[in-house]
Amino acid sequence: MDHGADANRTDLMTITRFVLNEQSKHPESRGDFTILLNHIVLGCKFVCSSVNKAGLAKLIGLAGETNVQGEEQKKLDVLSNEVFMKALKSSGRTCVLVSEEEEEATIVEPALRGKYCVVFDPLDGSSNIDCGVSIGTIFGIYALKDVHEPTIEDVLLPGKNMVAAGYCMYGSSCTLVLSTGAGVNGFTLDPSLGEFILTHPDIKIPKQGKIYSVNEGNAKNWDGPTAAYVKKCKFPEDGSSPKSLRYIGSMVADIHRTLLYGGIFLYPADKKNPNGKLRILYEVFPMSFLMEQAGGQAFTGKERALDLVPNKLHDRSPIVLGSYDDVEEIKALYAAEGKAQ
C-alpha cells in the first residue's frame, strides 16, 4: 500500500457527495432523501463516538429497564434510541418512526412531518457491548405514496416496498453499508475528517461461500432442513472441503462478513421460537433488502423474505440469507420436506 499517495488523496467520495450524485439522476428529486440520510449519518457518528468511549463514560452496563421485547436494556441502547429519534424527527422529513426499543410507533408532529417512514434497531447486538464485540445500527426506509394522515399501516408493508436500507457497524472501524435500490455501497468513517468515505463500491456477494453462520447451541431444537443443511456443511458428501463456522452473535457483524466473503447466515425457527427470533421490520427486512441488492437471497423457510407482510410492529420471522447458490441449497431441502409431508 502506498501510504504517501493515500495521504495526498483529495478526490474523496463522501457519502453526502455520493447521495447527491445519485439524486442528480432524478431531476424530480427535491433533496428530501438526502437530508434524511444526512441526519441518519449524524446519528451513526454520534453513536460511534459514544460506543468508542462507553467504558470511560460509564455507558456500559444495564440501564435497569427492559424494552418491549422483554430484554434488559443497556445504557447505550437507551442513549442510541434517543439519538436516532431526535435526529430523525429534526430532519423534518419523517412521519412514522418504529424503534426496537419502543412498544408503539411514533407519529411525528405535523410541523416536523415529511414523507418517509423509518424503522430501525438503534443498537443491535447490545449483549456484546461489555466485551467489545462489534455492534451496529440497522435501518429501513419506506416512502408515503400520497399525502395522508400517517398511521402504523404505512410501515406494515412487505420489505420489497422499502426505498432504502442499511446498517452502521461499530467495530475496528465504523462502516456504513447502504442501498437505495440500485446496488450496495460501503462507506468507512475517517475519524480525522469526520466523514464517511466510499471504501466498498458496488458490493457483490460471491455466488457461493465457504462459511456458514448459525447458533449451534440451538441445534437440538432445529427443524429437519436446517439440521440437514448444517450436516452437509460439516460433512459434505461430494468430497469437497467442509465449510467453516463463523458466528459472532451480533447480526450486523455476521451479515457484514457474509456480504463481503460470501456464505450463509441462518436464524431458523425452532421448537423454542416457532416464529423465529429476529424482528421482521428492522432486522429481517433491511438485511434481506441489502442481500438481494448485492446479488444474494433471503428466505424465511417458506417464502422470499421481502414478500412477508408483518401484522404487528415487532413481529418476528425465521431467516436464511446469503450467497445465491447456498440459499438455493437450503431452499431445496425445505421443498423436499414439504413434498414428503
Nearest to 256 by CA among 331, 184, 316: 184
Beta strand extents in 180-246 (DSSP E only): 185-190, 195-200, 211-213, 244-245
Per-residue pLDDT, 22: 84
pLDDT tens by residue, 133-183: 899 999 999 999 888 899 999 999 999 999 999 999 998 899 999 999 999
Using pLDDT thresholds of 50, 70 and 90, give the confidence band for residue 1: very low
Cα 327 from Cα 12, distance rounded (Å): 36
Beta bridge partners of 322: 264, 297
Task: Give CA–CA dist 182/205, Å, rounded.
Answer: 15
Judge residue 172's burial from the number of C-beta atoms within 10 Å of its C-beta, 0-12 exposed, 13-18 middle, 19 or more buried: exposed
Three-state DSSP class for residue 166: strand
Sign of CA dihedral 321, 130, 71, 44: negative
The three-class DSSP label of residue 168 is strand
Distance CA 162, CA 180 (A): 9
At residue 129 the predicted structure's pLDDT band, cuts being 50, 70 and 90, is: confident
Q: Higher model confidence: residue 8 or residue 297?
A: 297
Please state whether beta strands 244-245 and 264-267 pair in parallel, antiparallel, or not at all (unpaired): unpaired
Residue 8: pLDDT above 60? Answer: no
Average pLDDT, the chain: 91
The secondary structure of 65-132 as a DSSP string is EE-TTSPEEEHHHHHHHHHHHHHHHHTT-EEEEEETT-SSPEEPPGGGEEEEEEEEEEEETGGGGGGT
Q: Tell me the Ramachandran region of residue 155: left when phi exceeds 0, alpha when psi lies from -120 to 50, beta otherwise.
A: alpha
User: Within 10 A of 173 (CB to CB), how many other CB atoms are there?
Assistant: 13
